[in-house]
Structure 1
């Protein structure tokens, strides 16, 4: 994990559920910031390994991880995974004390955020939907962007703690607003990556030195994070890092479902979703989202 400094705040008792490529380093930053961290992971050996590395505790169930915690964080795969760690006799809500806050960093639907927020209120708890942007490198370096929805007081309670792994945190509205903002983020990224892929593939066909071209246009109106960080690796044909095609398809599925409900027109996002489906059909499920350019290089 990258070295960084942490703002001094009173230590909190926290739990972290889900130690994937995002959750593992996020929980690590919480421990390094001085918080008392208990972790849960579906594969218990990974939770034990985390506890051995960071000095926290591991628990066999979400309920046991959440017992006594002021804040419970989660970062799992999808709506079903989220419900599985929150609800039921072994779920986090069953172990949380009144007044505690559940913070969900999963990219999930706005509907499940509203559902679990209502369930939390019924038990005297608070729920903040807080999906993140920045990928695994953002998690490792502690510089994620966090988009939040939920009660304003609960948000203010958890914001200083989230600063252990984030550099930008904003509350954007009531329950579900964080998930909707993450959908906006994914719509923008899908279009940017496809546009960048087409630009690079065009330039290559035209015989241009695309490294030199990006060096020039990256200082003008075409500049973007994707161009700066993924342009060079796309030119080099390197796709073994970052945010996987499978994950982007999951996220775009949430986007398109929401658009069908609210009537938004997303022709580009829908088209790019199908381009990602093409990559999946060719076995490229785990490549980075920038692998879209592979479709354009195929003869």
Structure 2
């Protein structure tokens, strides 16, 4: 009885020490988790920040702005520097993924779905895996969307990995969770050259588990290209968002709700109605929105067609669009 309660308190103490150093990361329309490794620096996943150069950071106590200073796609890690850092900001001690053993208890901390703070899951280390030169920690601790980029810590609260991915098993078997060993994060902090690779650790693992083939490789390349097109489109969409919001209150009578962004209404026949008279030239405003929106539509339609030719599943493309707030009811018509 005494041993059980001591263990429970010990786990709660570890979590209480770790949580103040964990933050939600918002990069454009994407969200994930990061954690402070110095009072002015955080680590997260490269796929969390995507192509964004600046991010918003939210801890339990403070908000910060930051910039991506180092990116390592080959290890799926990114280093963020904080503007106007608080010298008192708690940060975590870094250990080594090479020191963990199968059966060792670990704790994954993050923001599930990018918004649910203080998400803590406990599990054990199942194995250490190496893909190319990247050391990965396989664990049964749940790593869910939004948890990506959070710390995987041992029972001392020392970081041993960066929660990174869940990979589907072959033939419908249960997915497996992996963290990138913190050793790669330490190298990034020390200024070592980022690892560049044609494939991410998740892609390499999928090949290992499901078997590589010409078809699967083609599908993977198609998915990568589709994601790249979406990242470019998001930057243009943000500019349209700003222009739409600036004049819609003065010019707009109604707009059909047909997708993730209000101005997607311009894609629909008679989807937008504007006022007849206004202090602003609303016809010109709407025409410019239509022109800019058409550029995004043309790019995404072409990317979808290329994705289909490469064998990318429609559901995968739909999920990627939703992640980037670029879904519209008309994409699959």
TM-score range, shorter chain: under 0.3
TM-score when normalising by structure 2 = 0.25
TM-score when normalising by structure 1 = 0.26
The structure richer in strand per residue is 2
The structure richer in helix per residue is 1
| Larger of the two Rg values belongs to structure | 2
